[in-house]
Amino acid sequence: MWLRLRLGCSLLLCCQAVLLAPTASNGAHDRFKLCGSVSISVYTDSEQIGAASNCTVINGHLMISLLNVGNGTEEPEIAGPKGRVYFPYLREVSEYVLLYRVSGLTSLDQLFPKLSVVRGMKTLDEYSFVLFDVLHLTSIGLPWLRHIGGPGGLRVDNSPMLCYLNTVHWSRVLGPRYASLMHFNHLQDQSQCSNPCPGEFTEVTIGSSVKRAYKSHCPGHCWNQDHCQSLCSESCGEAGCRVDNASLANSCCHANCLAGCDGPSDRNCVACRYFRFNDRCVSACPPGHLELDGWLCVPSEQCTRAHMNRLRLGRRCVSDCPAGHMSTGDYCVSCVEVGQPCGKHCPRTMLIRSAEDLKETRGCHSVDALVISLADDIPDLAARLLEAFSSLKEIRKYLTVTQSRDLTSLSFLSGLRLIGGEHISNTTSLENRHQSQSNNISLRIENTDFLQALWNGTASGHRLLVARGGVLFHRNQRLCPRTVTQFVENNLNVTDGFSPSDLGYNSAHEYNSNGNLALCIESTFNLTVVLSNASALLLHWPHLSIGDARYLLGYHVYYRLVPPDSPPVSYADPSTCEIRQWHTKFTQCVNEYSFEPASDRTSEGSQPEGPYYCHLGGNCNKCVGECAAANGTAGLAGDRDPVQCTFLIGGLKPASQYAVFVVPHIVRQMKVSVQSRLAVASTKPDYPSPPDKLKGQPLGPDRILLEWQPPLSPNGNVTHYLVWLNEIPVQQVCFALFI
């Protein structure tokens, strides 16, 4: 679910620029400064920003948020060479880049004009480069950018002025899978962008006339009006070609380079394809050195020093021992080789709030108790959770998951085998355990708003045993009741048993405290588009009957335009950002359309039905509902609710396809959740607008050349044009010439 970026809640308060290994070098790195992760926001002081501005390589992520760099027309206040936030030397970021709510920025080269490589070794919600709410951005504009790597790609959301997306050869930046690695939301229609590449106007002779024509300086692709996109010969591969001279596109770099160079040797690389060793790019680290973070060579003795505090694993320098290994002194060793079990007991209640807390659980085979209440915006949360709990098999007392807004799944707990409930006395009777429920719960999952999935322990042939105490699932707004029920039935053995109230149901088993904001669909009802015209669709669906009619407030009608040749449309979850692509209307169940033939109110006879006129006549096949006798007319008058509901969606585009679905608005989450099927229907064509830019040119005494552009609003498939000619008499005037 995208980004459930929910970045609106983040405050990036610090700027880190950790100098790891300063080195002098030649060529592309005449000055080299290696920094750790950099996070800059409006709260960061100028001294910290100044320390980060000299970074050449960021071994980590770069996050810039909540900044105003001008209003788009004035001199930028805190960006560019004259301002504070500027990275003139930055060429490489090993993890991801994020810009969030940065206003006044029109092009990214105002911040980092020489950025060439974003490795994507760690991603933000599966993306390596994220732009979110950068409102004044008109182009990405990074002329040196040649490589965005890792499993993620490029995501741009809510940049309504952004153009020049179609002028970039993205496969040269993202690789052959570029189409699946780009995600754009809420941008302007790129067909509305003029997108002129760098060039100049020249005079061109056409026949006997001289006209001005715009000639581009770029071979075919550009970043904006100031920068062409430099494309290397495909034979250069990932090594790239010269970045200092666009005419050297066939001058390939050394095989150990990545994304370009400014000379022929492995000392001239913009970035290293394999590993960086001092001022060279090498295919493997030399003896006496270890691989750090998958791209850097460091002396073996530095790996375990206090400022790095890492461990040696073969030829690598790692922050923690992987699964199946244990730490012995400064080394990670295989548990099998030393003949010892890897599991260890962590004898305390583990409270997990931050990324640092997650480090404490690594390698724990069992813990006394586990409470997960995560803070917002922990980077790479899913990967960190999986790594932290990969060894956990047993919790001796209880497990609580609460107030963790960033959690969408508990799949990282799939290895758990036992929750012991040892905090509950053996002498407590089963009846008393259920009566004093709050003190006798061993598995509690509550108040986690975005949780949508639990875990599947049966995939490995094991069910989770809750040896003593109860379970409780309560107020998880996006966790569907059926998901809870199936999890308990298929994955748990609860010795003390459980009741419907433990799973969130009320005493009558009619509604559930879980899933009230989720799209929990267990059945669907029919939705029919019964009539259409050029600008409207008439919908028809059965009115739902539930236990207490007061809980059904009405229906939400969701609809969206489906462009031609677009992939198949699926339901949108109203609780996610995806729903912003849909229009929505709210209606109660009404049936306003009479089943009787329409009366003639004009006294001028029946009105003709044109091809674009929508008429609800007496023909039962075209009526709303099956027919009057079956469905009644109580929607028009009477005390009964209508059995069938209708709704007219207006203001649509002619000759266009729309997807529609209906969701009932129910106050409480019911035992069975429903929505309509997804219907796809097309509006009818309409008369097109007049042809655009009509002009005529005489070719002789009896010929006129007419030229025009297609109509701006074709409202359908325009197959031919009709030309009417009307001769206008010209008054003859005679003149006499006297000499």
Residues 498 and 539 in one domain: no
Nearest CA to 260 out of 87, 391, 58, 115 is that of 115
Question: What tokens were used for 434?
Answer: 């259920």
Nearest CA to 646 out of 619, 680, 682, 622 is that of 622
Residues 485 and 530 in one domain: no
Calpha distance 272→262 (Å, rounded): 13
Q: Tell me, yes or no, whether 39 lies in a domain.
A: yes
Calpha distance 274→479 (Å, rounded): 44
**Structural domain boundaries enclosing 26:** 7-197
Residues 52 and 189 in one domain: yes
Question: What tokens were used for 630?
Answer: 């079956």
Calpha distance 125→100 (Å, rounded): 14
Calpha distance 359→64 (Å, rounded): 26
Containing 631, the helix (H) or strand (E) segment is: helix 628-631
**Distant-in-sequence, close-in-space partners of 460: CB < 8 Å, separation ≥ 6:** 414, 415
Alpha helices in 413-493 (DSSP H): 430-435, 481-491
Residues 545 and 460 in one domain: no
Calpha distance 170→164 (Å, rounded): 11
Residues 638 and 671 in one domain: yes
Q: Tell me, yes or no, whether 737 lies in a domain.
A: no
Whether the pTM exceeds 0.75: the reply is no
Q: Tell me, yes or no, whether 283 lies in a domain.
A: no
Calpha distance 445→402 (Å, rounded): 6
| Average pLDDT by stretches of 10, the chain with 739 residues | 38 36 43 88 81 91 87 46 76 95 92 94 86 94 92 90 93 86 87 88 78 83 92 90 78 93 92 94 95 92 81 89 78 79 78 87 88 86 89 92 92 92 72 58 93 78 87 90 88 85 68 76 83 90 80 90 81 68 90 44 37 33 38 37 82 93 76 79 91 89 90 89 84 64
Burial environment of residue 417 by CB neighbours within 10 A (0 to 12, 13 to 18, 19 or more) = middle
Calpha distance 702→16 (Å, rounded): 79
Residues 476 and 551 in one domain: no
Residues 172 and 79 in one domain: yes
Q: What is the pLDDT of residue 188?
A: 86
457-462: list long-range contacts, CB under 8 Å, 24+ apart. Answer: 457/414, 457/415, 457/416, 457/417, 457/491, 458/490, 458/491, 459/414, 460/414, 460/415, 462/417
Q: Tell me, yes or no, whether 666 lies in a domain.
A: yes
Which of 632, 649, 682 terminates a domain? The answer is 682
Question: What tokens were used for 496?
Answer: 């003390």
Q: Tell me, yes or no, whether 389 lies in a domain.
A: yes
Question: What tokens were used for 333?
Answer: 């060793």
Would you say 708 and 684 are in contact if contact means Cβ atoms under 8 Å apart?
no
Calpha distance 123→181 (Å, rounded): 12
Q: How many domains does the chain have?
A: 3
Which of 197, 212, 242 terminates a domain? The answer is 197
- Residue pointed to by tokens 């677009």: 566
Residues 489 and 575 in one domain: no
Residues 558 and 662 in one domain: yes
CA distances 666 to 65, 448, 523, Å, are 38, 21, 15
Q: What is the pLDDT of residue 82?
A: 41
Nearest CA to 4 out of 377, 355, 375 is that of 377
Question: What tokens were used for 397?
Answer: 């007392």
Over residues 45-72, the pLDDT tens digits come to 778 888 888 999 999 999 999 888 764 4
Residues 504 and 554 in one domain: no
Q: Tell me, yes or no, whether 604 lies in a domain.
A: no
Q: What is the pLDDT of residue 602?
A: 36
Q: Report the 10 Å Cβ neighbour count for 720.
A: 4
- Residue pointed to by tokens 């997108």: 195
Containing 51, the helix (H) or strand (E) segment is: helix 46-52
DSSP 327: E
Nearest CA to 137 out of 174, 169, 172, 100 is that of 100
Containing 489, the helix (H) or strand (E) segment is: helix 481-491
Calpha distance 576→633 (Å, rounded): 38
Residues 148 and 28 in one domain: yes
Which of 479, 512, 545 terminates a domain? The answer is 512
Q: What is the pLDDT of residue 105?
A: 92
Q: CATH number of the domain that 586 lies in?
A: 2.60.40.10
Q: Tell me, yes or no, whether 463 lies in a domain.
A: yes
Question: What tokens were used for 383?
Answer: 């990967």
Would you say 513 and 499 are in contact if contact means Cβ atoms under 8 Å apart?
no
Over residues 658-714, the pLDDT tens digits come to 999 998 887 765 555 688 888 999 999 998 999 999 898 888 888 889 999 999 989
Helix (H, G, I), strand (E, B) or coil at 331: strand
Over residues 478-524, the pLDDT tens digits come to 888 888 988 998 889 998 888 888 887 765 555 678 887 776 777 78
Q: CATH number of the domain that 463 lies in?
A: 3.80.20.20
Backbone angles phi, psi at 303, to 5 degrees: -60, -40
Q: How many helices (H) and strands (E) does the chain have?
A: 9, 45
Terminal alpha carbon distance of the chain:
93
Q: Tell me, yes or no, whether 545 lies in a domain.
A: yes
Residues 474 and 527 in one domain: no
